[in-house]
Structure 1
Amino acid sequence: MSRVAIKVPELASKVTGKYACECEKIPLDMQEKEGLIFWLAELDDWVEEGEPICEGEVQKTTIQISAPCSGMIEKICLEDGDTFKFGDILGYIETEC
């Protein structure tokens, strides 16, 4: 078993490494702002890689954050309505790899 961090993407692209974002481009000035997180998945839920598991609201824009791998949501670091910055760790997925 291993642990994989769920992160808010730091770079402006459709796919940033293993972390996916629904918007094609997040402007750099927006990446310096804070946003609010809202979970679609819950603690101990099984999620598949690429499945949307939470949403972030930044400057009237909603981004979906997808699971970086398949596994069970082991820990949630930021709860619904908490403030995040781009690059923050939102939680962890336990995977069998």
Structure 2
Amino acid sequence: MQLNDKWQGLCWPMMDFLRCVTAALIYFAISITAVAKYSDGASKAAGVFGFFATIVFAIDFYLIFNDVAKFLKQGDSADETTAHKTEEENSDSDSD
């Protein structure tokens, strides 16, 4: 659908980060409920698969968090470099 081209105002890495966090929390809560509340084999299998899905979403959460942190650090360093260059250009030195 290429929504990232249509809605450029959203921070897509942060949206993906929030999706992973909410999915991991929901799968974890449902897995605990399936294992604790129901005692049949199907519920226990669903709980195990839910815990596995939680681990997969947690790994994705960690990887996306590292990417977002790198992206934000690059943005900060670019802003600092631009601000430093602007300060140098606007200085009133008579060194010419």
What's the TM-score once normalised by structure 2's chain length?
0.20
Select the structure that is richer in helix: 2
- Structure number with the bigger relative contact order (C-alpha 8 A, sep ≥ 6) is 1
Mark the structure with the bigger radius of gyration. 2
Compare the two structures and name the one with the higher strand fraction: 1
